[in-house]
Structure 1
Amino acid sequence: MRLRKHTPFVPVAVATTLLATGCFASTSGPVDGEQRLRVVMMLPPRSGLSPLSDDAFKLSRWSTAETLVTLDANGDPRPALAEKWRWSDERTWTFTLRSGVTFHDGTPLTAKDVVRSLTRAAGAAPKPRILDGVELAVAGKGDTVSVTTAVADPLLPQRLSSPQLSILAARAYRGKTVDPVGAGTGAFVLKKVNGTSSATLDRNEDYWGGRPKAPGIDVRFVPDGTARAAALRSGEADIVEAVPVSQASLLKEDQITEVPMPRTNTLYLNTRRGVFRDPAMRAAARAAVDAEPLVKGVYEGRADVAEGLLGPAIPWAKQRPERAKRTPAGDPKGRRITIGTFTDRAELPEVAAALQQQLRTAGFRVKLEIREYANIESDALAGKFDAFVLSRATVLDSGDPAAYLYSDFAGDGSFNISQLADPAVDKALEKASSTPTGAARRKAVLEAEAAVLNTDAAVPMLHERVIQGDAANVVNSAKDPRERLLVTADTHLR
């Protein structure tokens, strides 16, 4: 099947939108000869930049909110706001705070602040996904904070690296919402948020990690991928995240960076109601999906065909165990299904259209429902679609795939689009979550992946590569496959 290629022409409607919104005009000029960074983001805030939502990743990518722990390239924990930590007893970890850290409002970082932030996150509804299945209590004394879990949790330091567990000043917690403006500890101070259109950050002159090299960041939110790429081509943006594959070939080679990332494009099948409640129909859908044309056509070769839920960004995923015998595919006999997806990732509507044709060929009658992500997420989580196409990060916040697998496929997982409730899967996920880090945990994770795939609740199609756009004069922007970092204290324009 030959899929339609994107045209390089920028539609008049897109150009008009840019002019009407002033999307890429910087809010400030040079500061003592230094240029502010103009950054274009894909998804606008959905929860007022609350760190208890996915908006937390924006705060992390702008280096404004920080956590106790960070992760290195291998996913191992490294010091951030905590200088060191130890496993004090079977269920308790004790963290020693870094000295000399102040919040953006001038108040010093104390154990009381850490207790407040982590306790608020642990009691949130819904919880930050990294705390799925985790109960914890936090106590502070002097320069130390103790975190006690209901059961032994060898992954706790990695969990505390999640941007959703950022530590903010007391001022952020006035009322029921969490407001991060002026409340972080990072290299840049969040000064202003203009709804879903823009944000402004200034350099934190008192940053504990040293004076940031850029005077500030001017952020614009532009869901349209063609418009984001056009901003880089025209010189109206310095850094652009998530350049669509259709636009990559239109940019200069030195303007793009392509990195395999732990993100899988997956077809989730509703196992609780509708056509795909029947395992034979799920097997029929799995058998009908051919990822090769999607990689070659929609992604123009800038992706990898999936062998499982975990991809090439996780090297040890190749050591998969043999799967159990799969359920034989049934005959769809013209059964009607609705596939949902969203427009925010430019490739997904095309993927859904290609799947529509493949599933029709297999005998299904297929309807597509495509909206912006903010307007479709709640329906997807409520199980209102027979199937859903999603681009999903597979190491999530902890750098460990067990958290993603639990969130998406456990019976009580917070992001269970497949509505899966399978005892064998839950047992495998519990084992993976409780096994100490190292080879044994990796083996348990792969066994849990196999248990999920045996249900055909999810059909992994391809593993994406992140494509980031940088102007030629950008220095030291982060190319982070986990999508946690973008602008750091070392990022600037030459």
Structure 2
Amino acid sequence: MHLRSPLPALALVVASSLVLGGCFAQDPNATAGDAGGRIKLAMLQPPRSGLSPFSDDAFKLSRWSTAETLVTLDADGNAGPGLATGWRRTSDLAWEFTVRPGVTFHDGTPLTADSAVNTLTRAVAASPKPRILDGVALTARAEGDRVVVTTGEPDPLVPQRLSSPQLAILAASAYRPDGSVDPVGTGTGPFRLVAVNGTTTATLDRHDGYWGGRARAAGIDVSFVPDGTARAAAIRSGEAHIAEAVPVSQAALLDPATITEVPMPRTNTLYLNTQAGPFRDAGLRAAAREAIDAGELVRGVYEGRADVAAGLLGPALPWAAEGRTAPTGRAAATPPRGAAITLATFSDRAELPEVASVLQQRLEDAGFAVEQVVREYAHIEEDALAGEFDAFVLSRATVLDSGDPVAYLRSDFTCDGSFNIARLCDPAVDEAVRTASLAEAGDGRRAAILAAEAAVLRTDAAIPMLHERVVQGDATSVVGSAKDPRERVLVTVDTHLR
């Protein structure tokens, strides 16, 4: 098995200090007094789309509490008020949302039903559109202080959809004639985004006019630090107050008082290209599945800080384990006989290259000839979505967008899904996902979701290996940071330094 060779302590300190000196935000105008009131945050991934809210960058805006949505989600995934104070379903296809009064955007303009409609209309027209809108025909119009949302077919999850950070409501000034979106100074949250330095740093100041009350921290100084060792070292050295996604290899080196571990709806999955290459053959996909020892990955790569996957949905959704049944009708494994495959992953999450190395060894033991490709995510996503690789190791959040797994199942595994790395197009899967999407919230919907999961697993297009945990680093001076399994919230109105 592929094992780590830790750096000697002195080498680790020297290497970390060199990395930290060059990548953490330093405000030359900060004084000793106001620096203590600002949260220094080390984040995993830099912006990939200029912080466009229609991309995954939206989750950064959400975690910084600068951009907000009409609807919020509680810990159980139930919809609650946000920039909308309430809503009601007026017909099979229509929902009515009442816009919160007295809210002002960071540019000084008021939040209105028209501004909310502007955001939703632009999101529908965006290319690519937000994942939460995959397969959804949605229109919005303003009626007084209300936003009327209409869908092409009955959709019981419209409120949950509008909680997606990719549908955050920004001021009209955010939207440019060329179709780009600039979130600087255009949100509604307790922190106002004031500057973005490319893929290096971002600066947010407290927005004293926030409708939900004055934030306790003076601001947030963000540094984008893809190197996991550097993020962990930042907590030890005091260069950061909060570090997201601490690698498991570094967690044991930190003071236990600075580490929090929470099961999360994130699955480490091997996606197999079903459209081109050797894995068009379901028998070879089955052979790949049988070659993988997920327990080996959990014990060796994740040092026990993960859970072996029984399906696509993990322990952060307890109902999934309670109602899951084994998929039937899987193809029998056929001998690989030296079939050449390209196995790819990205380096932003420190464990993934090591997972790929272990998988390469096991797949070669099973008879595949494996070439491995590892790049930063920003430089590999396009090729992965274009089907350039035979196999791709992905750490994937399964309820990130709506608190409901259907959006993930649709985007990743249906014929027209926008994130279909496996290039899967299976009528039975599409029908199962459609059935789940139309089911009302509750036990019936959960059963339909598990039936759709089983339909995907039957194809072996995706082989779930393990469920990750949030490993977050917080300096002992930090009070009230969020430990959110869905990775939507991090610094809140109540987060502050002792």
Is this a same-fold pair by TM over 0.5? yes
**Deviations 1:33-92 (Å, cap 9, x if unpaired)?**
852110010100011111011100000000000000000000000000000000011100
**Deviations 1:326-355 (Å, cap 9, x if unpaired)?**
211100001111101000000000000000
Could you tell me whether the CA contact under 8 Å between 2:274 and 2:281 is conserved in 1? Answer: yes
Query: Which residue among 225, 228, 245 is the counterpart of 2:228?
Result: 225
Letter in 1 for 2:73: L
1:3 aligns with 3
1:97 aligns with 99
* Structure 1 residue 22, shift from structure 2 partner: 4.8
Query: Which residue among 436, 439, 444 is the counterpart of 1:435?
Result: 439
Could you tell me whether the CA contact under 8 Å between 2:344 and 2:391 is conserved in 1? Answer: yes
Letter in 2 for 1:274: G
Distance 2:144 2:60 in 1: 31
Letter in 2 for 1:94: E
Instruction: In structure 1, list runs of 5 or more residues that go unmatched.
Output: none
- Closer, same or farther in 2 for the Cα pair 1:334/1:59, shift >3 Å? same
2:169 aligns with 167
1:282 aligns with 285
1:446 aligns with 450
1:29 aligns with 31
SS in 1 for 2:383: helix
1:108 aligns with 110
Could you tell me whether the CA contact under 8 Å between 2:232 and 2:243 is conserved in 1? Answer: yes
1:72-471 to structure 2, matched below 5 A, reads 72-175=74-177, 176-318=179-321, 319-471=323-475
* Structure 1 residue 142, shift from structure 2 partner: 1.4
**Deviations 1:425-467 (Å, cap 9, x if unpaired)?**
0110110111111111000000000000000001100000010
1:28-67 to structure 2, matched below 5 A, reads 28-30=30-32, 35-67=37-69
Q: Which moved more, 1:446-455 or 1:326-335?
A: 326-335
Distance 1:131 1:5 in 2: 44
SS in 2 for 1:73: coil
* Structure 1 residue 419, shift from structure 2 partner: 0.2
Could you tell me whether the CA contact under 8 Å between 1:341 and 1:390 is conserved in 2? Answer: yes
* Structure 1 residue 197, shift from structure 2 partner: 0.3
Letter in 2 for 1:4: R
Distance 1:219 1:32 in 2: 16
Could you tell me whether the CA contact under 8 Å between 1:42 and 1:222 is conserved in 2? Answer: yes
Distance 2:416 2:332 in 1: 28
Could you tell me whether the CA contact under 8 Å between 1:30 and 1:36 is conserved in 2? Answer: no
Distance 2:403 2:61 in 1: 18
* Structure 1 residue 323, shift from structure 2 partner: 1.8
Could you tell me whether the CA contact under 8 Å between 1:2 and 1:293 is conserved in 2? Answer: no
Question: Normalising to structure 1: TM-score of the pair?
Answer: 0.98
1:492 aligns with 496
* Structure 1 residue 174, shift from structure 2 partner: 2.4
Could you tell me whether the CA contact under 8 Å between 2:24 and 2:239 is conserved in 1? Answer: no
* Structure 1 residue 14, shift from structure 2 partner: 5.0
**Deviations 1:375-412 (Å, cap 9, x if unpaired)?**
00000000000000000001121000111011100010
Letter in 2 for 1:77: A
Question: Normalising to structure 2: TM-score of the pair?
Answer: 0.97
* Structure 1 residue 25, shift from structure 2 partner: 3.2
Could you tell me whether the CA contact under 8 Å between 1:18 and 1:24 is conserved in 2? Answer: no
Could you tell me whether the CA contact under 8 Å between 2:285 and 2:460 is conserved in 1? Answer: yes
Could you tell me whether the CA contact under 8 Å between 1:304 and 1:464 is conserved in 2? Answer: yes
* Structure 1 residue 17, shift from structure 2 partner: 3.3
Matched residues, number: 493
* Structure 1 residue 103, shift from structure 2 partner: 0.4
